């Protein structure tokens, strides 16, 4: 008998629609004539899911009694007896009631599959055995019901039921997942946006890995040996030229065409001094790559094509994007160019794209930064022309029957000498001039094949030839060197201009600047050293590159003093003298950046002092107004009672005494908050942490609010919390008083608590006007009232004191929107390790009792 096929709908969280999708598939199969039954589906009182069960045959469940309670489970025997083509079995990770045939529902499914019945089931990602600890780290809840990964991996088809966290929370808020009385707790705990986003990413990654497994299995079954480049990784070769923007955008478009495409931009720098690219262009291109989601890499290598290919193979790239060469046509005489070499050497598994752009064949136009040194290829060609050229030219002229006369021969040899100077510089040109003079004497000056010269005019011609050749070679070589020096100066000016602009605009940090130094000069390590006095030891202020201990500037390969007590130290190689001028500018800028950072620290400290002055000013304002108000009421009441002119009745006396008491209480509350904020500002709050139950502290904090204004829900199963009871009481009291103050008449404030992982949340929920997102942090600032409009007593310190006390105890206090309108204050506390919380099966905290004040 053939084994049945298993199809699983995988979700990231409850409510994404796994069961709904399974029932929709069942209806489609029934319409096609497939014998499909519902073996077990749990709709959890969700109306939309329950409606989908209509029209489908349902196998009656088996009833089991356990500890005096009747439970229902899937009747495996009834399903086997019915023997449908397809059976729907919900909640694959479910644990069966004791007394069932199997312990786990996935074992029931295995029996159905062995009987040749196809099964469609559902499971959430956090119920996989291997991901239990990951799910607990994300949600704080350890799932007791799990299914082995191998059971899910063996499924013939896995379909991800995906939904964005925002859409799932809206579905929850509309009551489509849980009952209304559980919505607030669920949104505040398990269904937080961060939890849902992390679970969604976990599900997507797991399914992606499963797709890779399917692909490898298919390739193995069909004996496919060639590489399938399922995930594109594209390397972009940059030169620092203006065409880089075009190449980066083209690579990004290529990456977007494939799933999971990645762009890696790389610049290959030579190891012989300053890099030959425009640092301004490279910085702009680095930013562009990062904005498009790629990464930028800087590699040192003298052989650019090989270095580029080594990098591409090292990162397992599938494609290389290069720009068409900016060389002039005649420059191809010396070497084929980077693009052609990379395309030739790339091999069959690495595609090379050569992209055209506006700079094609316009010349390099880049500021060369290797000073007056010519390239190795040009020097070799210069010597070949200077030494072999005269020999070949002599051979050609001697084999011409009616060859040119001596004057024309001198001109031809002179042209050859100029060519050697253009290619290889002065030395090859001198060699060409000397060889040309000897060859002219031996082969073309009568008497030939002797070193003697019969005609004095020929002597003059050869001497003039040598002199002119040397002069022209010197001028050509000098012009070439001046050109390279000008290019170098242009490179230096661009570097310094871009560097100065960044520093003046404050766009470059110290480490970023040192990294620029390391890349520019191709060094291993760059360290900024500093000491306080001439005899004090050096200390490392900042550094980048490979770790190498540097205690003194003298230990480095290159050191550049910056003032009397600072030095920039570099390791890797010795820099030529001409590079030290630019290095000195970098060192000076590093000192400027360091000073800027220190000034910023001082400015921050000054801002803190200014904030303290602002608080003191606000405190004086509070003393002058808010504190005088209750004092005035107290004085008026006392003066009235002491007045001998009026005889007060007992009721009047009681009313005056009540006003005095209210004023004193109000004054005590204001003074207490002022003292608390002062302690928080000076950092003198020292909490005495001990383990305590919330229900011992929270009810005591509600004494300052009217009766029947607060509804208190605290589960008995909550763990103890590690707090300072006095600070916790003040924190809860301030938050609750604020919530009661802004709640509409007749609306009670809800105070509830729940446990999640190693923390306990106390939530104070009101149905007031709420607070916009941009103002949620501002309401915790001292002397702030929402809308800057006073309402009732207070100087705007309650929430500031509450957050300060919460943070002093190692907790947090944040504001969230209440679903349906209002504001929810979330006080998060550390659970004590002594008594663990009881984990509910559902990801919603169940309230077990209600206390009313």
- 575-632 pLDDT, tens digit each: 776 677 778 878 888 888 888 888 888 888 888 777 667 666 655 655 555 566 677 7
Phi and psi of 366, rounded to 5°? Answer: -95, 145
Per-residue model confidence (pLDDT) at position 18: 92
Burial zone of 331 (CB within 10 Å; 0-12 exposed, 13-18 middle, 19+ buried) = middle
Helix (H) or strand (E) holding 538: none
Q: What tokens does 487 get?
A: 């290019």
pLDDT over 70, % of the chain: 80
- In eight-state DSSP terms, residue 102 is S
The residues near 71 (Cβ < 8 Å, ≥ 6 apart) are: 63, 64, 65, 97
The band of 790, judged by pLDDT with boundaries at 50, 70 and 90, is very low
- Please count the CA atoms within 13 angstroms of the CA of 170 that sit on its side-chain side: 5
Q: What tokens does 232 get?
A: 């594109």
Q: Residue 730 and residue 700: Cα distance in Å, rounded?
A: 10
- How many other C-beta atoms lie within 10 A of the C-beta of residue 225? 5
Q: What is the DSSP string of 632-701?
A: HHHHHHHHHHH-SS----HHHHHHHHHHHHHHHHHHHHHHHHHHHHHHHHHT------EEE-HHHHGGGG
Residue with tokens 């060192």: 587
Per-residue model confidence (pLDDT) at position 27: 93
Q: Which residue has the higher pLDDT, 220 or 792?
A: 220
Taking CA atoms, 551 is separated from 523, 541, 556, 572, in Å, by 18, 11, 9, 16
Bridging pattern class, strands 57-58 and 36-40: parallel
Per-residue model confidence (pLDDT) at position 845: 38
Phi and psi of 447, rounded to 5°? Answer: -75, 135
Residue 829 has pLDDT above 60, yes or no: yes
Q: Residue 730 and residue 687: Cα distance in Å, rounded?
A: 12
The band of 224, judged by pLDDT with boundaries at 50, 70 and 90, is low
**Sheet of strand 850-852: strand arrangement:** 812-817, 823-830, 759-765, 749-756, 710-713, 850-852
Of 362, 248, 238, 229, give the one whose Cα is nearest residue 304: 238
Q: Three-state SS string across 810-837, please? A: CCEEEEEECCCCCEEEEEEEEECCCCCC
Q: Is residue 201 a contact partner of residue 209, using CB atoms and an 8 Å limit?
A: no
Taking CA atoms, 267 is separated from 176, 309, 514, in Å, by 54, 12, 18
Residue 706 has pLDDT above 50, yes or no: yes
- Which of 395-401's residues contact partners 24+ apart within 8 Å by CB, and which partners? 397/443, 397/444, 398/443
- How many other C-beta atoms lie within 10 A of the C-beta of residue 726? 12
Taking CA atoms, 48 is separated from 18, 120, 175, 342, in Å, by 12, 19, 11, 60
Of 691, 821, 718, give the one whose Cα is nearest residue 766: 821
Among 6-15, 669-678, 734-743, the least confident range: 669-678
Residue 439 has pLDDT above 70, yes or no: yes
Q: Is residue 757 a contact partner of residue 693, using CB atoms and an 8 Å limit?
A: no
Q: Which residue has the higher pLDDT, 274 or 368?
A: 274
Per-residue model confidence (pLDDT) at position 108: 93
Phi and psi of 441, rounded to 5°? Answer: -65, -45
When computed from its CA atoms, the radius of gyration of the chain, rounded to whole angstroms, is 42
Q: Check the CA dihedral 422-424-426-430 and report its sign.
A: negative
Give per-residue pLDDT as tens, 151-201: 988 898 999 999 888 888 888 887 788 877 777 777 777 888 888 888 998
Per-residue model confidence (pLDDT) at position 371: 34
Of 749, 765, 689, 773, give the one whose Cα is nearest residue 725: 689
The residues near 112 (Cβ < 8 Å, ≥ 6 apart) are: 4, 39, 76, 79, 80, 87, 89, 119
The band of 92, judged by pLDDT with boundaries at 50, 70 and 90, is very high
Q: Residue 484 and residue 486: Cα distance in Å, rounded?
A: 5
- How many other C-beta atoms lie within 10 A of the C-beta of residue 841? 11
Q: What tokens does 320 get?
A: 């290389």
Q: Residue 618 and residue 610: Cα distance in Å, rounded?
A: 12
Q: Three-state SS string across 106-172, please? A: HHHHHHHHHCCCEEEEEEEHHHEHHHHHHHHHHHCCCCCCCECHHHHHCCCEEEEECCCHHHHHHHH
Q: Which residue has the higher pLDDT, 460 or 847?
A: 460
Q: Residue 632 and residue 640: Cα distance in Å, rounded?
A: 12
Interval 256-281 mean pLDDT:
69
Interval 757-770 mean pLDDT:
87
Phi and psi of 258, rounded to 5°? Answer: -115, 150
The band of 286, judged by pLDDT with boundaries at 50, 70 and 90, is confident
Looking at every residue in the chain, the average pLDDT score rounds to 79
- Please count the CA atoms within 13 angstroms of the CA of 307 that sit on its side-chain side: 17
């Amino acid at each position: 008998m053939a084994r049945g096929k298993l199809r699983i709908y995988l979700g990231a969280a409850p409510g994404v629609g796994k069961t709904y999708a399974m029932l929709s598939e069942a209806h489609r199969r029934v319409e096609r004539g497939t014998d499909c039954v519902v073996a077990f589906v749990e709709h959890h009182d969700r109306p939309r899911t329950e409606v989908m069960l209509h029209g489908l045959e349902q196998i009656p469940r088996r009833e089991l009694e356990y500890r005096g309670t009747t439970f229902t489970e899937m009747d495996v025997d009834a399903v086997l007896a019915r023997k449908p083509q397809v059976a729907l079995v919900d909640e694959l990770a479910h644990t069966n009631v004791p007394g069932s045939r199997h312990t786990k529902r996935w074992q029931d499914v295995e029996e159905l599959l062995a009987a040749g019945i196809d099964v469609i089931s559902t499971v959430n990602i956090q119920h996989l055995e291997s991901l239990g600890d990951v799910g607990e780290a994300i949600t704080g809840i350890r799932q007791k019901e799990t299914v082995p990964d191998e059971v899910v991996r063996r499924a013939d088809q896995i379909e991800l039921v995906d939904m964005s966290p925002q859409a799932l929370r809206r579905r929850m808020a509309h009551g489509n997942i849980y009952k209304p009385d559980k919505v607030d707790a669920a949104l505040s705990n398990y269904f937080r946006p961060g939890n849902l986003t992390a679970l969604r990413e976990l599900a997507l990654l797991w399914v992606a890995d499963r797709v890779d497994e399917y692909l490898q299995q298919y390739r193995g079954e069909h004996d496919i040996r060639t590489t399938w480049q399922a995930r594109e990784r594209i390397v972009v070769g940059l030169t620092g030229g203006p065409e880089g923007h075009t190449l980066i955008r083209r690579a990004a478009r290529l990456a977007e065409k494939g799933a999971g495409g990645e762009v890696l931009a790389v610049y290959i720098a030579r190891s012989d001094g300053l890099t030959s690219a425009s640092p301004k262009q490279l910085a702009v291109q680095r930013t562009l790559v990062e904005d498009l989601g790629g990464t930028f890499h800087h590699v040192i290598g003298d052989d650019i094509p090989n270095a580029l290919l080594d990098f591409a193979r090292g990162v397992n790239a599938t494609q290389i994007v290069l720009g068409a060469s900016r060389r002039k046509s005649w420059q191809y005489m010396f070497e084929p160019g980077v693009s052609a070499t990379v395309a030739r050497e790339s091999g069959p598994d690495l595609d090379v794209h050569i992209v055209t752009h506006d700079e094609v064949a316009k010349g390099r136009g880049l500021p060369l930064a290797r000073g007056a040194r010519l390239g190795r290829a040009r020097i070799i060609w210069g010597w070949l022309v200077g030494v072999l050229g005269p020999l070949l030219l002599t051979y050609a002229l001697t084999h011409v029957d009616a060859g040119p006369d001596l004057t024309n021969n001198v001109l031809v040899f002179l042209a050859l000498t100029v060519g050697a100077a253009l290619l290889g510089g002065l030395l090859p040109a001198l060699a060409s001039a000397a060889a040309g003079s000897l060859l002219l004497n031996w082969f073309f000056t009568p008497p030939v094949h002797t070193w003697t010269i019969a005609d004095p005019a020929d002597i003059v011609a050869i001497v003039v030839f040598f002199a002119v050749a040397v002069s022209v070679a010197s001028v050509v070589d000098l012009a070439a060197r001046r050109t390279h020096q000008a290019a170098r100066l242009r490179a230096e000016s661009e570097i310094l201009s871009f560097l100065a602009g960044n520093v003046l605009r404050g766009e470059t940090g110290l480490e970023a600047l040192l990294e620029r130094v390391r890349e520019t000069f191709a060094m291993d390590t760059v360290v900024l050293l500093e000491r306080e006095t001439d005899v004090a030891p050096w200390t490392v202020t900042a550094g980048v590159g490979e770790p190498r201990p540097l205690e003194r500037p003298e230990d480095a390969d290159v050191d550049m003093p910056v003032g009397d007590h600072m030095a920039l130290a570099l390791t890797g190689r010795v820099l030529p003298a001409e590079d030290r001028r630019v290095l000195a500018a970098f060192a000076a800028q590093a000192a400027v950046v360091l000073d800027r950072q220190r000034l910023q620290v001082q400015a921050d400290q000054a801002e803190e002092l200014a904030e303290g002055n602002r608080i003191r000013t606000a405190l004086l304002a509070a003393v002058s107004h808010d504190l005088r108000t209750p004092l005035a009421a107290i004085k008026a009441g006392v003066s009235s009672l002491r007045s001998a002119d009026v005889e007060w009745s007992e009721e009047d006396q009681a009313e005056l005494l009540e006003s005095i008491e209210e004023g004193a209480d109000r004054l005590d509350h204001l003074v207490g908050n002022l003292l608390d904020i002062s302690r928080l500002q000076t950092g003198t709050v020292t909490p005495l942490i001990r383990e305590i139950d919330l229900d011992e502290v929270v009810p005591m904090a509600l004494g300052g609010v009217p009766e029947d204004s607060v509804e208190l829900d605290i589960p008995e199963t909550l763990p103890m919390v590690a707090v300072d009871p006095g600070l916790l009481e003040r924190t809860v009291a301030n938050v609750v008083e604020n919530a009661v103050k802004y709640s509409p008449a007749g609306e009670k404030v809800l105070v509830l608590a729940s446990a999640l992982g190693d923390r306990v949340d106390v939530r104070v929920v009101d149905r007031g006007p709420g607070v916009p997102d941009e103002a949620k942090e501002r309401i915790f600032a001292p002397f702030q009232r929402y809308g800057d409009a006073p309402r009732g007593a207070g100087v705007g310190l309650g929430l500031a004191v509450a957050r300060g006390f919460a943070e002093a105890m190692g907790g947090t206090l944040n504001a969230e929107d209440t679903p349906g309108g209002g504001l929810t204050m979330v006080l998060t506390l550390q659970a004590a390790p002594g008594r663990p919380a009881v984990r509910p099966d559902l990801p919603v905290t169940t309230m077990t009792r209600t206390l009313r004040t």
